[in-house]
Chain A
């Protein structure tokens, strides 16, 4: 039973739940965007967590980790490389969200989604 392992998994799941709760309950459009990025952080943390191996070190083969022992000494480098893609897509989505949110709130004079009637029917 590795406490650190389960703590990270719990934190990641908690961030995702908190982010979804924010998306579903907040009324200010910018806060909804913020909640999306919180859920995004949880997903990224979960991805990195999936590559964790107990008692191992970072996948950098400097003097502390001889190249010959790499297979038994480092954590999985693949999820760490993949999470970079996830982070970059998250930033791109957040940037577009902020632009549309700021423009919508400036045009309608409010950031409250209950008063944005254009997309409702």
Chain B
């Protein structure tokens, strides 16, 4: 009883604090600050017609590298914890619907993921959503079988390769133009075309493969930690 009252009190104070700022809120009607600069110069600077991708991969590419590191450390900790403390309950047989869906859907899911990853500079999408969708295809395949995945060396290899590619593409900019992850090292081409925007599509591809292999590694670690039936 006292606990419920306390919870209600905390939430009420928070809600009151949130409502108290409403009169001071003004809807923005014009761009300002960094957003204004990105909208004004983004296309000219990077050749990417998708300004969000221009910010993520080119202007704030270093932050994205940090994000990939955060994701990497989370995936590594999950795999480490699960290998030290096995869950010890094997997989159950998939139901009829899951087993048959897992034979049909992974291919179209993969196609969508490749589209998202390679068209990041042209349409909504990018390495993170593309990689997550790729990993969901892997998860579906795994859920559709009753066996435990064998110890694969492909996932860690892909992860290391894509991470190194990201870093080297960034260093290429440092070497030639004196700026980490400058995407103009190979010229920005014709904006709006698939092969354009310098190294943005390549970096997106590297991020996509890295995210996909990390999530797939987490799923496989959960499955392996259960052991065989």
From 95 to 113 in chain B, residues with beta carbon under 8 angstroms from any chain A beta carbon are none
Residues A53 and B70 in contact, CB atoms below 8 Å apart: no
Q: A49 vs B126: C-alpha distance in the bound complex, in angstroms?
A: 21
A24 and B7 form a contact (CB under 8 A): yes
CA distance A83 to B174 in the complex (A): 27
Chain B residues whose CB sits within 8 angstroms of the CB of A85 once the complex forms: 63, 67
What sequence of 0s and 1s flags, for each residue 46-65 of chain B, a beta carbon within 8 Å of any chain A beta carbon? 00011110111000100110
The reply on B176 being an interface residue by CB < 8 A is: no
Binary CB contact string for chain A from 25 to 62 against chain B (1 if under 8 A, 0 otherwise): 10000000000000000000000000111100011111
A70:B74 contact, CB within 8 angstroms: no
Contact present for B50 and A21 (CB under 8 Å): no
Q: Find chain A residues with CB under 8 A from B126 CB.
A: 84
Bound CA span A79–B33, Å: 12
Q: What is the distance, in angstroms, from A27's C-beta to the closest C-beta of chain B?
A: 11
Q: Are A21 and B78 in contact (CB under 8 A)?
A: no
Which residue of chain A has the shortest Cβ distance to B192 in the bound complex? A62
Bound form: Cα–Cα A103–B77 in Å: 14
Q: Is the CB of B18 within 8 A of A13?
A: yes
| Selected interface stretch from B36-44, B140-148, B153-161 | B36-44
Contacts of A21 in B (CB 8 A): 7, 11
Query: Cβ of A70 and Cβ of B39 under 8 Å apart?
Result: yes
Does residue A108 face the partner (Cβ distance < 8 Å to B)?
Answer: no
> Is B35 part of the contact surface with A, judged by Cβ < 8 Å?
yes
A99 on the B face (CB < 8 A):
yes
Interface of B (DSSP majority class): helix
Size of the B side of the interface (Cβ < 8 Å), in residues, is 54
Stretch at the interface among B79-87, B162-170, B182-190: B79-87
Cβ–Cβ < 8 Å partners of A20 in chain B: 10-11, 14
Check B88 for interface membership: any CB of A closer than 8 A: yes
Q: Please, how many angstroms separate the alpha-carbon atoms of A95 and B211 in the complex?
A: 14
Given the complex, which residues of A lie within 8 Å of B55, measured CB to CB? Answer: 77-78, 81
A71 to B103, CA, bound (A): 47
Number of interface residues of A (CB under 8 A): 43
- Could you say which residues of chain B place their CB within 8 Å of the CB of A24? 7, 10-11
Query: Which one of B18, B56, B122 lies within 8 Å of A84 (CB-CB)?
Result: B56
> How far does the Cβ of A31 sit from chain B's closest Cβ, in whole Å?
15
| Interface pair A71/B40, CB less than 8 Å apart | yes
Note all chain A residues with C-beta closer than 8 A to B33. 78
> How far is A77 from B51 in the complex, measured between Cα atoms in Å?
6
Mask, A55-94, CB within 8 Å of B = 1, is 0001111100001001100101111110011011101110
A contact residues around B175 at 8 Å (CB): none
Are the CB atoms of A81 and B56 closer together than 8 Å? yes
6 CB-based A-B contacts, threshold 8 Å: A59-B38, A59-B50, A61-B50, A77-B38, A77-B42, A106-B88
Closest 9 CB pairs of A and B: A92-B74, A76-B35, A81-B55, A59-B51, A77-B51, A24-B7, A78-B35, A61-B49, A70-B39
Q: A25-B7, A84-B64, A99-B78 are in contact. List 6 more A-B contacts (CB 8 A).
A: A53-B30, A59-B50, A59-B51, A84-B56, A92-B73, A99-B82
